[in-house]
């Protein structure tokens, strides 16, 4: 054997060779990048480091519902404002898109021709038009709402203007804490009621109206406590003073445009996964449960949906991830999220491109990982449990 | 035959056949369905008439209601006489049509773009349809088409004048980004997916990290990366063209998604195919090229088309980093004093153009799926 000549045909050697080659190239690339970057940075007088985070930002952010932000605050605070805004729009968008997607998915399967075709048109239009365009389109429509001076009141304390939707703001007074505690307690109680009724049904076969009991508990008990304790909450109505409304709450058009566009766009995709999920439950399952004498809505709730969910949840997860990543498009309408606030304005002001981009990318990676983690846990809980 | 003597065959009841039967079956099968039908009709009644009124019936196209040619927004019927108006003013699209299609490409050179558009169709059609006559020869053309397109659009290697990419715009940029992105991301995606499934731990780790990183961040951060950070990474004097920088970002982004789609196809190939290929003595690359990839790609083509639709829509994001694609040209038109305020018309037009492209792609993907289901010996079974 000419082993010394043909040692390249040795599989072990070859695999080792390729891997070392990749590592070597990678290391060389990294080294090359770092040296050129360091050189470029030095030439442009950009100091690296994280010190800029504690410098005052010096610009205003129009939308910061959770943190009290002022222009004198630091870039670090800009980051947190942006992060919270990203999380807020993603959270609201995911919930709305899920609800919309499930409704439209069921509509598309309806035996009603008109209904299913309307749903089909919605899905095709909203799926096939770029999201960024939809965001801008909603935004231009919202900007054509009446000016603040000419705004009309729709319902008590609600104003639609081109500067956003003004609504009354709840003002909590002393004693509202009790109402809140009672509310939490009822939620916990309804959880235990559910467990108890499940156990009872398994042992005795008797059923208990869990949904209605817990709903009325959650709604009425806090309400009763609220009135007994002397209504410790009032509403602050927006009132026109000078050029703007004072008091009350405002939801900015940027947020509304993002919310509408994200949920309508993603809802179209979710409706398709819902549809294919429901279609994946074979007809025999329905017929068999019908033959057992289950009522139609029970068939849906106990037979079809649990099986459909197994198909729906994995693609649903990726839709949630997409929505979260797409929320970064807020930059086109000036929604102060992570990319616009911190990755855009802060970056331009400080010139710390590498640091800002690394932080923004790392944050998105973390959010993506957390969402997939939770959805994987949920997915595992609904999969077949083979005994 | 005998039954004729005993019973006369009767026609089915009117209410189960024909239009009436169809209506009853599909719209009014029970009270709930009827209610839904009326609700939907009412909603459509609220939306559709005003929509068509705005887009077509009360809209101005090239001339306004008074017969003047519209060259300015103040000549739109809605502005001249608010009582008669209320419709869209599409003249902005007609006046700026050249920019929407070619950007700022010099007018005397525009034949080059037109030829490229035509050749693009020639290059794509044989790729899409298996029964295209002389498909094999056309596919060779498809492979060399990018070179021809580059030659025609950009430099011409001394034979033609160089048209720098900052003169490109509109549909041209959208198509260049979309098709180059897809064409480059496809081979990259194949390599990444093979790498991720590789038995060599280092290679599989590098590919997995790359794919998961790209899939975990929004495209816009990658575009920023290309615009803001890439200049810092490059040695002095190297100045990449703006369009190429976004093209790099778009291609990397797309290749990660493409890799995952192709990996799905690779996973669907049964182990026996690999073993059989190895036992006839094929090397790793031969095995993948001749046995595994043709099957894997064949079953994933619908998903590949779907990801391509995603990429095509995502090309609009380059607006944010200042590239003038179709949407960018639209926004530039709106920044012009003469057309300010016609934003809805422009955005609806851009949306329509995108819809035409993406909808036909998604129809094509459906057609492929159907063909794969009924097709002979499709994929692995």
Which stretch of A161-170, B198-207, B367-376 has the lowest confidence by average pLDDT? B367-376
What residues of chain B lie within 8 A of the CB of A110, using their CB?
A: 36
What pLDDT, on a 0 to 100 scale, did the predictor assign at position A1? Answer: 44
Q: Would you state the structure tokens that stand for residue A338, as one six-digit string?
A: 């992570």
ipTM, two decimals: 0.86
What residues of chain B lie within 8 A of the CB of A18, using their CB?
A: 200, 203
CA distance A15 to B199: 9
A344: nearest CA partner in chain B: B224
Sign of CA dihedral A315, A311, A261, A372: negative
* Å between B203 CA and nearest CA of chain A: 6
CA distance A347 to A339: 10
What pLDDT, on a 0 to 100 scale, did the predictor assign at position A4? Answer: 52
Asked if pLDDT for residue B1 goes beyond 60, the answer is: no
What residues of chain A lie within 8 A of the CB of B225, using their CB?
A: 357, 361
What pLDDT, on a 0 to 100 scale, did the predictor assign at position A2? Answer: 47
Question: Which are the contacts of A175, defined by CB distance < 8 A and separation ≥ 6?
Answer: A229, A230, A232
CA distance A99 to B108: 54
Across B349-374, average pLDDT: 89
CB contact under 8 A, B232 and A113: no
Interface contact B41, partner A, CB < 8 A: yes
**How far is residue B190 CA from its own chain's centroid?**
20
Question: Which are the contacts of A315, defined by CB distance < 8 A and separation ≥ 6?
Answer: A273
Measuring CA to CA, which residue among B351, B227, B339, B147 is closest to residue A132? B351
Interface contact B155, partner A, CB < 8 A: no
Question: Which are the contacts of A60, defined by CB distance < 8 A and separation ≥ 6?
Answer: A71
Q: How does pLDDT run across B311-342, given as a tens digit for each residue?
A: 999 999 999 888 888 999 998 888 888 887 78
Q: How does pLDDT run across B217-237, given as a tens digit for each residue?
A: 999 999 988 888 777 787 777
CA distance B178 to B246: 11
CA distance B198 to B208: 10
Domains of chain A by range and CATH? 75-150+252-382 (1.10.3720.10)
CA distance A92 to A101: 14
CB contact under 8 A, A112 and B229: no
Q: How does pLDDT run across B96-153, given as a tens digit for each residue?
A: 889 899 988 888 888 888 988 999 988 888 888 888 888 888 888 888 888 888 888 8
What residues of chain A lie within 8 A of the CB of B224, using their CB?
A: 339, 343, 347, 357
Asked if pLDDT for residue A27 goes beyond 80, the answer is: yes
The closest CB to that of B232, out of A18, A339, A353, belongs to A353
Which pTM value belongs to this model? 0.86
Q: Do residues B219 and B317 touch, judged by C-beta distance below 8 A?
A: yes
Q: Which band of pLDDT confidence, cut at 50, 70 and 90, is reported for residue B85? A: low
What residues of chain B lie within 8 A of the CB of A354, using their CB?
A: 229, 232
Q: What are the backbone dihedrals phi and psi of residue A43, each rounded to the nearest 5 degrees, phi first?
A: -65, -35
Interface contact B359, partner A, CB < 8 A: yes
Q: Do residues A272 and A302 touch, judged by C-beta distance below 8 A?
A: no
Q: Would you state the structure tokens that stand for residue B241, as one six-digit string?
A: 């063209």
Interface contact B339, partner A, CB < 8 A: no
Gap between the terminal Cα atoms of chain A: 56
* Å between A344 CA and nearest CA of chain B: 9
Asked if pLDDT for residue A7 goes beyond 70, the answer is: no
Superfamily of domain B169-374: MetI-like (1.10.3720.10)
DSSP conformational letter for B375: S
Q: How does pLDDT run across A50-92, given as a tens digit for each residue?
A: 778 888 877 878 777 777 788 788 888 889 989 999 999 999 9
* Å between B23 CA and nearest CA of chain A: 9
Q: Which residues pair with A160 in a beta bridge?
A: A165
Q: How does pLDDT run across B177-209, given as a tens digit for each residue?
A: 999 999 999 999 999 999 998 888 888 899 999
What pLDDT, on a 0 to 100 scale, did the predictor assign at position A8? Answer: 66
* Å between B34 CA and nearest CA of chain A: 9
Q: Would you state the structure tokens that stand for residue B243, as one six-digit string?
A: 């369009």
């Amino acid at each position: 054997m000419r082993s010394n000549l043909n040692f390249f045909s040795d599989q072990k050697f070859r695999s080792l060779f390729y891997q070392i080659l990749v590592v070597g190239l990678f290391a060389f690339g990294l080294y090359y990048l770092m040296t050129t970057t360091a050189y470029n940075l030095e030439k442009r007088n950009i100091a690296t480091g994280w010190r800029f985070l504690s410098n005052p930002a010096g610009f205003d952010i129009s939308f910061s519902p959770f943190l009290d932000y002022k222009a004198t605050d630091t870039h670090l605070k800009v980051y947190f404002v942006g992060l919270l805004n990203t999380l807020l729009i993603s959270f609201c968008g995911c919930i709305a898109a899920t609800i919309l997607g499930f409704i439209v998915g069921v509509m598309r399967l309806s035996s009603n021709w008109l209904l299913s075709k309307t749903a089909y048109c919605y899905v095709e239009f909203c799926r096939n038009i770029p999201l960024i365009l939809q965001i801008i389109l909603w935004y231009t429509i919202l900007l054509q709402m009446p000016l603040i001076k000419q705004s009309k009141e729709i319902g008590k304390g609600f104003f639609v203007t081109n500067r956003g939707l003004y609504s009354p703001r709840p003002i909590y007074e002393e004693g509202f804490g009790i109402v809140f505690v009672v509310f939490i307690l009822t939620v916990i109680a309804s959880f235990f009621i559910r467990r108890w009724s499940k156990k009872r049904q398994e042992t005795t076969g008797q059923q208990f109206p869990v949904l209605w009991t817990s709903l009325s508990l959650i709604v009425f008990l806090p309400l009763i406590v609220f009135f007994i304790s002397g209504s410790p909450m009032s509403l602050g109505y927006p009132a026109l003073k000078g050029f703007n409304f004072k008091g009350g709450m405002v939801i900015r058009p940027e947020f509304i445009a993002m919310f509408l566009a994200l949920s309508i766009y993603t809802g179209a995709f979710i409706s398709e996964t819902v549809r294919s999920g429901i279609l994946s439950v074979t007809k025999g399952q329905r017929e068999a449960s019908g033959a057992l004498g289950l009522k139609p809505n029970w068939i849906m709730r106990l037979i079809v949906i649990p099986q459909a969910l197994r198909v729906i949840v994995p693609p649903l997860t990726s839709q949630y991830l997409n929505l979260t990543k797409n929320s970064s498009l807020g930059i086109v309408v000036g929604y102060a999220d992570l990319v616009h606030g911190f990755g855009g304005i802060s970056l331009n002001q400080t010139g710390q491109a590498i640091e800002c981009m690394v932080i923004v990318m790392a944050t998105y990676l973390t959010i993506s990982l957390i969402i997939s983690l939770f959805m994987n846990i949920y997915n595992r809980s609904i999969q077949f449990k083979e005994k | 035959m005998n039954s004729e003597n005993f019973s006369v065959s009767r026609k089915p009841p009117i209410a189960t056949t024909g239009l009436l039967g169809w209506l009853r079956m599909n719209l009014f099968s029970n009270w709930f369905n009827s209610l839904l039908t009326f609700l939907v009709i009412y909603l459509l009644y609220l939306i559709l008439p005003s929509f068509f009124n705005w887009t077509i019936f009360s809209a101005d196209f090239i001339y306004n209601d008074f017969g003047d040619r519209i060259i300015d927004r103040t000549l739109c019927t809605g502005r001249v006489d608010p009582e008669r108006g209320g419709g869209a003013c599409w003249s902005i699209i007609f006046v700026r049509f050249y920019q929407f299609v070619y950007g700022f490409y010099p007018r005397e050179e525009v034949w080059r773009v037109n030829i490229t558009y035509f050749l693009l169709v020639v290059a794509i059609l044989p790729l899409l349809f298996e029964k295209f006559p002389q498909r094999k020869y056309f596919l060779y053309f498809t492979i060399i088409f990018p070179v021809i397109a580059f030659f025609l659009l950009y430099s011409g290697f001394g034979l033609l004048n160089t048209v720098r990419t900052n003169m490109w715009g509109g549909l041209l940029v959208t198509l260049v980004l979309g098709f180059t992105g897809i064409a480059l991301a496809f081979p990259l995606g194949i390599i990444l997916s093979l790498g991720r499934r590789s038995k060599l731990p280092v290679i599989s780790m590098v590919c997995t990290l790359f794919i998961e990183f790209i899939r975990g961040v929004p495209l816009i951060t990658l575009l920023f990366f290309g615009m803001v950070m890439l200049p810092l990474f490059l040695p002095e004097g190297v100045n990449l063209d703006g369009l190429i920088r976004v093209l790099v970002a778009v291609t990397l982004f797309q290749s990660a998604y493409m890799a995952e789609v192709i990996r799905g196809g690779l996973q669907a190939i049964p182990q026996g195919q690999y073993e059989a290929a190895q036992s006839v003595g094929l090397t790793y690359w031969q095995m993948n090229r001749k046995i595994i990839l043709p099957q894997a790609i064949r079953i994933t083509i619908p998903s590949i088309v779907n990801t391509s639709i995603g990429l095509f829509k995502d090309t609009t994001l380059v607006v944010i980093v200042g590239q003038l694609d179709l949407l960018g040209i639209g926004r530039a038109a709106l920044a012009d004093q003469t057309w300010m305020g016609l934003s809805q018309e422009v955005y609806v037009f851009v949306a329509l153009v995108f819809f035409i492209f993406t909808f036909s792609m998604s129809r094509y993907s459906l057609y492929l799926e159907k063909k794969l289901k009924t097709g002979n010996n499709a994929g692995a079974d």
